[in-house]
Amino acid sequence: MCGIIGFVGTTPAVPHLLSGLRKLEYRGYDSAGIAIASPTEPDIVIRKAVGKIANLDQAIASHPLEFEGPIGIGHTRWATHGIPSVQNAHPHLSQDGRFAVVHNGIIENFHDLRKQLRELGFEFRSETDTEVLAHLIQLHRADTLIDSVRAALRLVRGTFGIAVVSSCFPNQIVVARRGSPIVIGANETETIVASDVAPIIPYTNKVTFLDDGDIAVLTPGHFEIRSMENTSVSRSETAVDWDPGAAEKGGFEHFMLKEIFEQPEALENCFRGRLLEEDGTAKLSGLRLDPHDIASFDNLVITACGTSYYAGLHGSYAFEQLAGIPTRIEQAAEFRYRNPILSPNAGVIAISQSGETADTLAAVREAARKGATVLSICNIVGSTIAREAGRGIYLHAGPEIGVASTKAFLCQVAVLNMMALLFGRTRRLSNSEGVHIVHALKKLPDLIRSVLEQKDCIRKIAEKYAGCSNAFYIGRGYMYPAALEGALKLKEISYLHAEGYHAAELKHGPIALLDEKVPVVACAPLVPGHDKTIGNIQECRARKSPVIAIATEGDDSIAAFTEDIIRVPQCSELVAALPVVVAEQLLAYYIARFRGEPIDQPRNLAKSVTVE
């Protein structure tokens, strides 16, 4: 959610911090700020603003900094404790003004700590839990900054990723992690820390992820990681396989539109080297499973949140259809709290685009405690879920900056289909059946390109319905998760109320809401369940609801029920949902654009949900 950036080097920190904050905007935020320290100055200077980074730029321009230092930290805040305001924005200063802190996460015992600090004479300027940390560090000031921070964190319950600077201890930043990501990169003269890799890539493509319980000291061109018990810690370096330009718009109006159009290439990267046509199977070395391991699974549990949950629902159908393994999908927050029953031969597949989703990470840990084999599907190399699971597959979708997921969803479904193919070939699929599926998967990039060519048609339909207030999405079989994902995309970026339903569920209540003002998007390509979906479309029309049909090229039967048709190519049932979802993405994008909404940074949403 919130974003952290820190810079220590030999040049003024402000430009580096502002550039880094802009690269973190996609995470979602409502205020921003920076703190600058200098080896030659006794104070720390802070500038903060409510709203976008542009407002922070203006605050700095109208009130120039008293000095330019080579050390600084910055933050984009997404409000949890206290309303969005300058007082609640990060960084927060200690009472003596000598320590500044930025923080992602939640301090669960901050009420008790706040009371104790007040009794000691500390005054609070904000409503946040983070300000407690700044005062605790001052209270427990030691001979070094790392010892001061370590002493304060021993009193804290909850989750945190923090960065601290101090005028008492120049030329360094101290960072620590428990439950919220911290990533460090360094070149010869500069060290950069962030809550994501995006701000680090302009400086180096080699990054180090902190683990929970790590605390590190950053100096120009160098960093040292230690434990909370003050022992030296070694963490492996990870190479990031995308260049700085991948996180730029590249001529597109929005990141989301760029990422929609990047999906054919993202799928090609996802498949590269993994599909074995002659053997009719997939090579997924990261799973570290031999045929005996795969054959021993008696059931699978897929756990995820949001868009990843809908990808998992699609995957659950594929595993049962291709591999014959009973598979259920669990919302990750439910999995972690309801004490799920896992058999000794259960496999748990955790899906998270960021690899840092708090509820999914907790589900991974719960599954591991119960003895299940845990597999992960993530996009971010070196992320916490990927490292803790130890077995898994990276999407290789490239950076996804828009908050509403597009190419990550498609690649998640593609990876799940490859896993289902591998499991199926190990358990019951013939070579010829496997070869047929490999061919279907390999066609996907071109299938998506054909949908992208329909953008002008989809834009015209979007303009027609941009003024509506409610919408339904319906589908059957593999089209059911497609309907859920389509409704989510519309509500995320256009703020229209949209609901996805299994088409058969219409008659069980939702149909009462249909009238001429409620359009229905029907996912109705030529796959099993098509005829019944046509029946559901007729039910909608009988209630005067306009229907937008996403239908197969050449399916003339659909024209009898609606004039608003988005055409997708004929393809295998296993992959048919993906062209449909791309059509839904474009529909949602253009509706949001006609409504003038901030597509890449929708209100109240964050790219990576690292708190409950």
- Helices 14-23 and 53-62 cross at an angle (nearest 10°) of 160
Report yes or no: 568 and 552 within 8 Å, Cβ to Cβ. yes
Report yes or no: 33 and 47 within 8 Å, Cβ to Cβ. yes
- In the three-class reduction of DSSP (H, G, I as helix; E, B as strand; rest coil), residue 228 is classed as coil
Which of 161, 170, 169, 208 lies closest to 186, judged by CA? Answer: 208
Beta bridge partners of 594: none
- In the three-class reduction of DSSP (H, G, I as helix; E, B as strand; rest coil), residue 437 is classed as helix
* Cα distance between residue 280 and residue 571, in whole Å: 18
Report yes or no: 406 and 600 within 8 Å, Cβ to Cβ. no
Which of 232, 284, 252 lies closest to 421, judged by CA? Answer: 284
CB 39: neighbour CB atoms within 10 A? 12
Q: Tokens for 206?
A: 């080699």
Report yes or no: 65 and 17 within 8 Å, Cβ to Cβ. no
Report yes or no: 14 and 72 within 8 Å, Cβ to Cβ. yes
- Helices 577-594 and 407-427 cross at an angle (nearest 10°) of 170
- Characterise 21 by phi-psi region: left (phi > 0), alpha (psi -120 to 50), beta (else): alpha
Under DSSP, the state recorded for 373 is E
Helix (H) or strand (E) holding 269, with range, is helix 263-271
Active site (annotated) includes residue 305: no
Q: Under 8 Å CB-to-CB from 374, ≥6 apart: which residues?
A: 347, 348, 350, 364, 367, 368, 388, 389, 390, 391
Catalytic residue among 2, 411, 540, 571: 2
Active site (annotated) includes residue 540: no
Phi (first) and psi of residue 576, to 5 degrees: -65, -25
Catalytic residue among 52, 258, 491, 607: 607
Under DSSP, the state recorded for 556 is G
Q: Which residues are catalytic?
A: 2, 607
